[in-house]
């Protein structure tokens, strides 16, 4: 057994201890680099991923420019607004659609003759006598009849025109012109009707109006009777 002097053993232990301490110090410093807490620094933030910049310190963030789809609730659980009739700002209103006028809701009359240039011109008037609003569109039908109800002459022919829908509130009227050449000028064969039957557009039942306009052409030259498209009112 070799005896090592005490001073040599002490020196070796000292050197070993210093080496171990140096190694532990190096490891401790490396661990501290990754575990130090982050430091908050003032300044301008980098651009966000959507291309917008974060607000500077002390300012509020701008409102979002993206809009929700029309009519969609602004947040979960929010209800969709419903327009109210008569409201401001262009609120939608619901307007009821009127149906056509039926024969039973109308009355018929024949106005005063307005002759001119060898023509006889009578306004045939339909009036809404019901308690509701209804519509007329196009041409009425007409026929002259004798006392027993037999038709005299052919049906009136339609004059050219542009039919429009006429809305009649209770008590309002529409009219059509009944026109024919004066038989004394045209030389047509004539008959004197007892009544004029008037049929509203798109109806089958007729209204009977007593005829006081005298003789009408029923056959021969220039015997055609014409009826114009319905217009609002009671006369031209």
Determine the structural domain holding residue 223 and report its residue range. 103-232
DSSP for residue 79: P
Can you tell me which residue has the tokens 């057994």? 1
User: Domain for residue 115, yes or no?
Assistant: yes
Query: Alpha carbon of 227 to those of 92, 158, 206: distances in Å?
Result: 41, 5, 16
CATH of the domain at 199: 2.60.40
Sequence-ordered list of residues with C-beta below 8 angstroms from that of 10, at least 6 positions apart, any chain: none
The yes-or-no verdict on residue 188 having pLDDT over 60 is yes
Total number of domains constituting the chain: 1
pTM of the full predicted structure?
A: 0.59
The pLDDT, as a whole number, for residue 222 is 84
Give CA–CA dist 19/11, Å, rounded. 13
How many other C-beta atoms are found inside a 10 Å radius of the C-beta of residue 153? 21
Share of the chain above pLDDT 90, in %: 55
Highest mean pLDDT among 75-89, 90-104, 217-231: 217-231
Indicate whether 230 pLDDT > 90. yes
**Residue 123 resides in a domain:** yes
Distance between CA atoms of 172 and 166, rounded to whole angstroms?
A: 10
Lowest mean pLDDT among 1-5, 40-44, 220-224: 40-44
Residue 79 within a domain: no
pLDDT computed for residue 133 by the predictor: 97
List 226's β-bridge partners, or say none.
157, 179
Q: What span, in angstroms and rounded, lies between the C-alpha atoms of 215 and 191? A: 5
Mean pLDDT for the stretch of residues 150-160: 95
The reply to whether 118 falls in a domain is yes
- Nearest-angstrom CA–CA distance, 62 and 194: 85
Give the C-alpha separation, 156 to 225, whole Å.
5
Task: Please name which of 175, 183, 33 lies closest in space to residue 108, comparing C-alpha atoms.
Answer: 175
The top-scoring range by mean pLDDT among 71-80, 102-111, 212-221 is 102-111
With respect to residue 135, please indicate whether it lies within any of the assigned structural domains.
Answer: yes
**Residue 96 pLDDT level (bands cut at 50, 70, 90):** low
Give the pLDDT score at 97: 53
């Amino acid at each position: 057994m070799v005896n090592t002097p005490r001073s040599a053993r002490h020196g070796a232990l000292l050197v070993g201890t210093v080496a171990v301490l140096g190694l532990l110090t190096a490891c401790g410093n490396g661990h501290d680099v990754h575990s130090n807490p982050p430091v908050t620094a003032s300044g301008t933030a980098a651009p966000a991923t959507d291309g917008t910049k974060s607000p500077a310190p002390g300012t509020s963030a701008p409102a979002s420019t993206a809009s929700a789809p029309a009519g969609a609730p602004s947040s979960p659980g929010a209800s969709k607004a419903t327009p109210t009739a008569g409201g401001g700002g262009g609120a939608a209103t619901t307007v009821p659609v009127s149906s056509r006028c039926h024969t039973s809701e109308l009355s018929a009359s024949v106005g005063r003759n307005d002759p001119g240039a060898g023509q006889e011109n009578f306004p045939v008037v339909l009036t809404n006598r019901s308690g509701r609003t209804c519509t007329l569109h196009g041409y009425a039908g007409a026929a002259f009849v004798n006392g027993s109800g037999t038709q005299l002459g052919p049906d009136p022919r339609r004059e050219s025109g542009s039919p429009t829908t006429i809305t009649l509130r209770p008590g309002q009227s529409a009219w059509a012109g009944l026109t024919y050449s004066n038989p004394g000028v045209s030389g047509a064969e004539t008959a004197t009707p007892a009544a004029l039957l008037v049929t509203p557009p798109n109806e089958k039942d007729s209204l009977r109006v007593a005829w006081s306009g005298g003789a009408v052409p029923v056959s021969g030259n220039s015997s055609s009777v014409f009826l114009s498209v319905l217009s609002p009112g009671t006369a031209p």
